């Protein structure tokens, strides 16, 4: 199985052949990889120049002019540089044909590899977004993705292209603990607030996991909130009730068709 070192070796091997070249054609001979290769990808990728080839964990990232092609080698995949006319062998599933007359040929007998295209920066692709317990989800990361974004911080927190797995209930509770109002523009966060929010997200999720692990039968569907965890909520579904910290009345608002709750005193 290609591990990180093999993927990096592949990256270095193909880099001199691919960077600066234009993709003449993306030929998908077998779209049934781990996830189906989207038919639109041929059109999206064709004609674009390869600006750089990066790597993120075990993904190869082809940075193109208007987006990023993400290749995962899976359990048994390999990528070789060949003259484009070279006859295909079994398990040659994809050819990235370059204007040099060469092809980047993806071979994968077990077909656990995957190929995705994203029009945005690579880190916004769902399969690359970090989970809250991932080391990559840190204050620096949260701070950097909030720059220049006018979207409300709560909606950013629930955007699975940026971080995976923060549901509505947890986003509300984490923002309370971090003392940040859910409707604040993401770009208004300070570094200190970003750091608090990362800690708060983890604290809230950890608490829910702990409770979920011991009182599984108390689970009550909807938002996946355990009955026991619900008793410990500071703001979620507590509109007009007294804040547990300062006794001010908890407020409610709708954001992107999801309910948000906050304390007007504790959160700024």
Name the one range near Zn ion by CB under 5 A: 78-86, 135-143, 157-165, 255-263.
Answer: 255-263
Name the one range near Zn ion by CB under 5 A: 140-148, 163-171, 172-180, 248-256.
Answer: 248-256
Report the residue number, 75 or 245, with the smaller CB distance to Zn ion. Answer: 245
Distance of alpha carbon 117 from alpha carbon 1, whole angstroms: 23
Among 23, 73, 198, 266, binds Zn ion (CB under 5 A): 266
Residue 261: which of 229, 252, 100 has the closest Cα? 252
Distance of alpha carbon 240 from alpha carbon 254, whole angstroms: 15
- Could you list the active site residues? 2-3, 58, 258
- Asked if 263 touches Zn ion (CB under 5 A), the answer is yes
Report the residue number, 116 or 251, with the smaller CB distance to Zn ion. Answer: 251
Distance of alpha carbon 83 from alpha carbon 97, whole angstroms: 9
CA of residue 156 relative to chain centroid, distance:
12
Distance of alpha carbon 98 from alpha carbon 80, whole angstroms: 13
Instruction: Give the single-character DSSP code of 197.
Output: H
Report the residue number, 51 or 248, with the smaller CB distance to Zn ion. Answer: 248
- Asked if 249 touches Zn ion (CB under 5 A), the answer is no
Report the residue number, 52 or 245, with the smaller CB distance to Zn ion. Answer: 245
- Closest approach, Cβ 246 to Zn ion, in A, equals 3
Distance of alpha carbon 146 from alpha carbon 221, whole angstroms: 31
- Asked if 245 touches Zn ion (CB under 5 A), the answer is yes
Rg (CA), the chain: 23
Q: Per DSSP, what are the bridge partners of residue 226?
A: 219
- Closest approach, Cβ 15 to Zn ion, in A, equals 54
- Asked if 268 touches Zn ion (CB under 5 A), the answer is no
Among 160, 241, 265, 268, binds Zn ion (CB under 5 A): 265
**Phi-psi domain of 154 (left: phi exceeds 0; alpha: psi -120 through 50; beta: other):** alpha
3-state class (DSSP) for residue 176: helix
Report the residue number, 123 or 181, with the smaller CB distance to Zn ion. Answer: 181
For residues 204 to 243, the per-residue mask of contacts with Zn ion, x marking binding by CB under 5 A and - elsewhere, is ---------------------------------------x
Number of residues that bind Zn ion (CB under 5 A): 7
3-state class (DSSP) for residue 4: helix
Catalog residues that contact Zn ion under the rule CB under 5 A: 243, 245-246, 248, 263, 265-266
């Amino acid at each position: 199985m290609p591990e990180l070192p093999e993927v990096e070796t592949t990256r270095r091997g193909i880099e001199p052949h691919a960077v600066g070249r234009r993709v003449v054609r993306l030929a998908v001979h077998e779209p049934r990889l781990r996830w189906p290769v989207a038919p639109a990808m041929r059109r999206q990728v064709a004609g674009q120049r390869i600006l750089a080839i990066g790597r993120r964990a075990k993904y190869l990232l082809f940075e193109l002019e208007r987006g990023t092609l993400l290749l995962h080698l899976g359990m048994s995949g390999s990528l070789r540089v060949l003259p484009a006319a070279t006859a295909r062998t079994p398990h040659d599933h994809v050819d990235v044909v370059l204007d040099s007359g060469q092809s980047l040929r993806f071979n994968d007998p077990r077909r656990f590899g995957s190929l995705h295209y994203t029009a945005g920066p690579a880190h916004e692709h769902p399969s690359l977004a970090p989970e809250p317990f991932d080391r990559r989800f840190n204050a620096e990361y949260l701070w950097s993705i909030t720059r220049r974004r006018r979207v409300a911080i709560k909606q950013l927190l629930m955007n699975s292209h940026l971080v995976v797995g923060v549901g509505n209930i947890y986003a509300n509770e984490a923002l309370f603990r971090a003392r940040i109002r859910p409707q604040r523009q993401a770009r208004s966060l300070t570094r200190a607030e970003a750091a608090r929010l990362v800690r708060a997200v983890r604290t809230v999720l950890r608490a829910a996991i702990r409770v979920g692990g011991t009182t599984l039968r108390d689970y009550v569907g909807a938002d996946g909130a355990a009955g026991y965890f619900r008793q410990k909520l500071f703001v979620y579904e507590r509109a007009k009730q007294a804040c547990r910290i300062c006794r001010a009345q908890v407020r409610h608002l709708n954001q992107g068709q999801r309910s948000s709750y906050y304390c007007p005193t504790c959160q700024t």
